[in-house]
Structure 1
Amino acid sequence: MTQTRGSQNEASILRLAPFTSGLDRSSDVPLRFVELHGRPHVLYSAANLPAWISWATEALVRWQIGNETFVGNATAVNDRETLEGEILPQVTRQFGSERLSRWFGSDIGCLALSGSPATASYYGQVEALFDHAAPHYDRTVQNDRLNLHLRVVSSEILRNLFPPGSRVLELGCGTGLETIPLAEAGAQIVAVDISAKMLAELDRKARAASVRDRVETRKGSIRELQRILSDFGPGAFDGAFSHFGALNCEPNLDGLPSTLHQLIKAKGKVSLGVLNRTSLVEMMLFTASLRPSRAFARLRSTLAVGRSQFGVQVFPYGPGAIRRLFRPFFAEEEAIGVSVLLPPSHLGGRLLPHPTLLALLESIDASVADRPLFRFLGDYFLMQMVRR
């Protein structure tokens, strides 16, 4: 609606913000609203669009009314009959025609907010985020060379780890950016993800690549892995992997190693790609910009929304923590850092227009990825283990 000043009529104010705030947009925007059919509606000047319109209509948003926070979508009200016959009269009754004209002029637009309380389960937030991202997820990765770099590195590791004919369990498969190449190389994959829409994208891509017979999808979170054990039985898989964030969306990994140990055959391999607690470049960039709280944010046990490229609270892990957790069941074979000297994708926008420099940094990054110290200072680390 319009940005407000002071505390007048606080009951009719909501605070709107991007749900995926890793792009470091401005802080919450206070807006006046009216409620219609159980949904908040905010107005704006269609002749002079406010800056927040661009992000509010592109992705999930978060809004707060009083002490309650919600997560959902903002959609334009394009029905003039609803706008002029229901919404504007209610706004006029609530705020007066003089304010309505002063705030918005004669050409008025409206967004309707729909969502659920953010106090719903953490897994519900994760599912909603990735359901929303699914249709454009591949395009986001493929158009961002820094993000794509992560997938190139991991896909090469997976091809070497799982030969043709291997039966592999993938946790947090997303749209199948690693699933499809591995299936094309001859592996049989059971792909698990919390998002039904991500799985639908994977299914579509598997059919298009003629590997649907090699990919079986299952909806669920990592904490529900016992269901996979019940369905497939002990020793059903030659190996497993979970790359680039799925493990960081799990508040508690304590039960994962023992369940994987039961699912995987003797001497089977596991590869884990984990958001690291110590990202060298991230720490340097935020320190240089005099933002120490951001520089060391990952050292906390949880990383709040807006402190990473994720749109939900996540849980960074260091290599030592993962090693200790898995040690009773798996032995570490190798670990490398990914994006050690490259910035994380959410901080590397200025590099993207310089492909020559980016290629040089990628080459240097690869040369230090497995070096002592450096391998544990990347944006992510990739750790390969073998079942004891």
Structure 2
Amino acid sequence: MIATHPAGQAFDAMADTYDDDFTQSHIGRAQRSVVMQDAFRILHGRRRLLELNCGTGEDALRFAENGWKVLALDASERMIACARVRRETAGTKENPQFRQVATEDLREIAGEFDGVFSNFSGLNCVRDLAPVARILAEKTSPDSPLLLCLSTRICLWETAWYLLHGNPAKAFRRWSGRHEAMLQGMPVDVYYPTLNTLRTAFLPHFRLRRVRAIGLFVPPSYAEAWIQKHPLLLRMFVRLDAVFSRLPLLRVLGDHMLLHFEKSGEAV
């Protein structure tokens, strides 16, 4: 019997509407497009991918359509069920494989992978990523890339947005490094490690190669109703992100940061 994970329970309640609320939203598509552009470039030539926190399978299905063999994991039973339905709708039964496994329980899986991917903050639900890094080192081949997208500790958009809406508690909720979020009425601990904390957690197994902001100018998803009224502004934000998202002082101030680790190589 699979143990119930606190974050998994919360995301069970969100699964049936997640794609409408985020995946297919203007903001969700804009942010995901940047992540996937880097993913296709960095993971090019890899054969066997491990995806953590796969949600409803949007990214896993796209990888599979383009020739990767994918094992995609999520702590949410309902998210995995939705992902399997999407796979059947796409006309495939074996790839990607979807399994309900929490990130903390990675030792349960077998096999070796030559790439690891995690999108949109699933790893922010893990208190200590150093043990995760050790397990990933055991399950990946030499030179394997890890492409991980996490929520930042300081999001300029979030701070400004909630201050303008008179809600300082939400404006600074990430800054302490931990926040108890209420997801569908259920409390979930969310952690916001700094870039240096993440770099240290993955050493000595993986070295950080590159970092870029995701959603530096493109706003967080709770601004969807506002951005729908300003499509030209969204296109401008997308272009600005392309120009400024890799600058050292700005790359950790977006809604998310995309980290490219490698099992060997020089650190940045």
> Do the two structures share a fold, i.e. TM-score over 0.5?
yes
Alignment of 1:338-357 (within 5 A): 338-357=214-233
How has the CA–CA distance of structure 1 residues 147 and 312 changed in structure 2, closer, same or farther, with 3 Å as cutoff? farther
Counterparts of 2:41 and 2:181 in 1: how far apart (Å)? 35
Match of 1:281 among 157, 171, 176: 157
Tell whether 2:149 aligns with 1:149: no
- Structure 2 residue aligned with 1:11: none
Counterparts of 1:311 and 1:362 in 2: how far apart (Å)? 33
1:213 alignment partner, SS class: coil
5+ residue gaps, structure 1, are: 1-120
Displacement after TM superposition at 1:328 (Å): 0.9
Alignment of 1:236-247 (within 5 A): 236-247=112-123
1:300 alignment partner, SS class: coil
Alignment of 1:205-284 (within 5 A): 205-228=86-109, 231-232=110-111, 236-284=112-160
Counterparts of 1:165 and 1:341 in 2: how far apart (Å)? 31
2:227 alignment partner, SS class: coil
- Structure 1 residue aligned with 2:188: 312
Q: Deviations over 1:320-352 (max 9, x none)?
A: 211111121111111100111222111343222
How has the CA–CA distance of structure 1 residues 288 and 196 changed in structure 2, closer, same or farther, with 3 Å as cutoff? closer
- Structure 2 residue aligned with 1:135: 16
Q: Higher RCO, 1 or 2 (CA under 8 Å, sep at least 6)?
A: 2
Match of 2:201 among 325, 328, 332: 325
Q: 8 Å contact 1:158–1:182 — kept in the other structure? A: no
Counterparts of 2:203 and 2:45 in 1: how far apart (Å)? 28
Task: Tell me which amino acid in the other structure corresponds to 1:227.
Answer: E
Displacement after TM superposition at 1:125 (Å): 3.1
Counterparts of 2:69 and 2:208 in 1: how far apart (Å)? 24
Task: Tell me which amino acid in the other structure corresponds to 2:239.
Answer: S
How has the CA–CA distance of structure 1 residues 315 and 304 changed in structure 2, closer, same or farther, with 3 Å as cutoff? same
Percent identity over the alignment? 26
Alignment of 1:6-45 (within 5 A): none
- Structure 1 residue aligned with 2:76: 195
5+ residue gaps, structure 2, are: none
Alignment of 1:68-79 (within 5 A): none
Displacement after TM superposition at 1:293 (Å): 3.1
Q: 8 Å contact 2:23–2:29 — kept in the other structure? A: yes
Counterparts of 1:279 and 1:300 in 2: how far apart (Å)? 13
Displacement after TM superposition at 1:147 (Å): 2.0
Counterparts of 2:44 and 2:92 in 1: how far apart (Å)? 16
Q: 8 Å contact 2:22–2:221 — kept in the other structure? A: no
Deviates more, 1:373-382 or 1:359-368: 359-368
Displacement after TM superposition at 1:274 (Å): 0.3
Q: Deviations over 1:223-264 (max 9, x none)?
A: 101111xx22xxx10111111121011122220111111111
Q: 8 Å contact 2:121–2:150 — kept in the other structure? A: yes
Deviates more, 1:363-372 or 1:271-280: 363-372
Q: 8 Å contact 2:46–2:114 — kept in the other structure? A: no
How has the CA–CA distance of structure 1 residues 203 and 348 changed in structure 2, closer, same or farther, with 3 Å as cutoff? closer
Counterparts of 2:18 and 2:133 in 1: how far apart (Å)? 29
Q: Deviations over 1:271-326 (max 9, x none)?
A: 0100110101112223344543332220113112259xx97331112222111111
> After the TM superposition, which parts of structure 1 deviate over 4 Å for at least 4 consecutive aligned residues?
none
Counterparts of 1:212 and 1:340 in 2: how far apart (Å)? 38
Displacement after TM superposition at 1:135 (Å): 1.9
Q: Name whichever structure is richer in strand by fraction.
A: 1
Deviates more, 1:322-331 or 1:283-292: 283-292
Displacement after TM superposition at 1:213 (Å): 2.6
Q: 8 Å contact 2:153–2:194 — kept in the other structure? A: yes
Q: Deviations over 1:61-82 (max 9, x none)?
A: xxxxxxxxxxxxxxxxxxxxxx
Counterparts of 2:53 and 2:213 in 1: how far apart (Å)? 20
State which structure, 1 or 2, has the greater radius of gyration over its C-alpha atoms: 1
Q: 8 Å contact 2:5–2:76 — kept in the other structure? A: no
How has the CA–CA distance of structure 1 residues 137 and 291 changed in structure 2, closer, same or farther, with 3 Å as cutoff? closer
Tell whether 2:63 aligns with 1:182: yes
- Structure 2 residue aligned with 1:70: none
The TM-score, its normalising length taken from structure 2, stands at: 0.90
Displacement after TM superposition at 1:168 (Å): 0.5
| CA RMSD in angstroms, aligned pairs only | 2.1
- Structure 2 residue aligned with 1:371: 247
The TM-score, its normalising length taken from structure 1, stands at: 0.63
